Structure 1
Amino acid sequence: MARFILQHQDTHAYRRKSRIISLVMAGQFVVLGMLFAMLLTAAFGSSLALNALGVLLGLLATSAMFAVLKDRPWMTEVRYAWQLKHHLGQVSGYLSTLRRAMDNDDRTALDLVSFYHQGMAQMAEMNDRTTDDDAERLAEKMQVKLKREELELPEHVEGFNPDDLQAYKRP
């Protein structure tokens, strides 16, 4: 799998585009769902099943449109945020194992936990939120920083390689 590199993002552009895209997609889903439901009930008679099928077809059409548009250049910030969330979710599933390995000076685990904290901080910044209210996370972040200094590792990591998680899979 390809390495994911942390990149600086324009948080205002991300939030603006994210809101616009969410509204457009929701509007498209509502319009298409209603349109399909109306067409189906007009052609085959009124029933709850046909209305539900119309809504499902609206969802599928909206999803297909989104799949086609997600690689467009104007979706860069939003696509980056989705990828970051996906990778943070991957790492969070291994956090307990990574924390134990980190206590044993495992550099890869330390890099993965560092990526997790850097990514969480970036997502919070992009969403205009703060992570300073979680004492447990702040304590772990400080522990990671001290451990990295002790092992003479750079304070920050550049990114995340999903293949690094393979070593921490449960048997």
Structure 2
Amino acid sequence: MAFSLEQHDPASYQRKARIISVAMAGQLIIFGLLFSMLLTTTFGSSVWLNALGVLLGLLATSAMFAALRERPWMTEVRYVWQLKHHLSRISSYLQPLRRAVEEDNHLALDILTFYHQGMAQLAELNGRTTDDDAERLAEKMQVKVKREALGLPKEVTTFDPHDLSAFKQK
């Protein structure tokens, strides 16, 4: 299934991500303590029962989070998770993609363009800059020049993960 870049407000994303992170950490602490207390009260005090209580708290927090992730107020956070997932998949294919770019492969150029656009958007959403990685900036410029020379569009807004199968590592 193809993934498309979307525009989201960085301030809104950062605020929601902080709130959700704090809520989930608080929930984990409360559930972990609650389950540990219930287990040690019922079966006696033990390090293993405390550890089991924390594990049960983690499972309960994960289940609650899985149930809530499709809610409308989770849109920005869910989008960033998906973006990170796709960028991670692309990064595992960077070497074959770079070789294919040297051969003017249009698909590789599209995927690397999407990768660089996604990395820039991710940095913007997280309130960081991408100016600190000279190698990535040089590669981004090389891809841009090749795209211009081949008459390809400047931006690529969609990515189909199945396209990576053409660049399986040997």
TM-score with structure 2 setting the length: 0.99
Aligned partner of 2:150 in structure 1 is 151
> Which amino acid in 1 is paired with 2:99?
R
Aligned partner of 1:170 in structure 2 is 169
Deviations 1:15-59 (A, max 9, x none): 000000000000000000000000000000010110000000000
Regions of 4+ moved over 4 Å: none
Aligned partner of 2:159 in structure 1 is 160
Aligned partner of 2:69 in structure 1 is 70
Aligned partner of 2:55 in structure 1 is 56
Are residue 135 (structure 1) and residue 161 (structure 2) matched? Answer: no
Aligned partner of 1:8 in structure 2 is 7
> Which amino acid in 1 is paired with 2:106?
R
Distance in 1 (CA, whole Å) between partners of 2:100 and 2:67 is 41
Distance in 2 (CA, whole Å) between partners of 1:153 and 1:134 is 25
Determine what percentage of the aligned residue pairs are the same residue. 66
TM-score with structure 1 setting the length: 0.98
* Pairs within 5 Å for 1:18-167: 18-167=17-166
In structure 1, list runs of 5 or more residues that go unmatched: none
Deviations 1:80-135 (A, max 9, x none): 00000000000000001100001101111111111110000000000000010111
> Which amino acid in 2 is paired with 1:93?
S
Distance in 1 (CA, whole Å) between partners of 2:147 and 2:8 is 25
Number of residue pairs aligned between Structure 1 and Structure 2: 170
> Which amino acid in 2 is paired with 1:74?
W
Distance in 2 (CA, whole Å) between partners of 1:10 and 1:133 is 23
**Contact 2:16–2:77 (Cα < 8 Å) also in 1:** yes
Give the superposition deviation at 1:170. 2.4
**Contact 2:93–2:169 (Cα < 8 Å) also in 1:** no
CA RMSD of aligned residues (A): 0.6
In structure 2, list runs of 5 or more residues that go unmatched: none
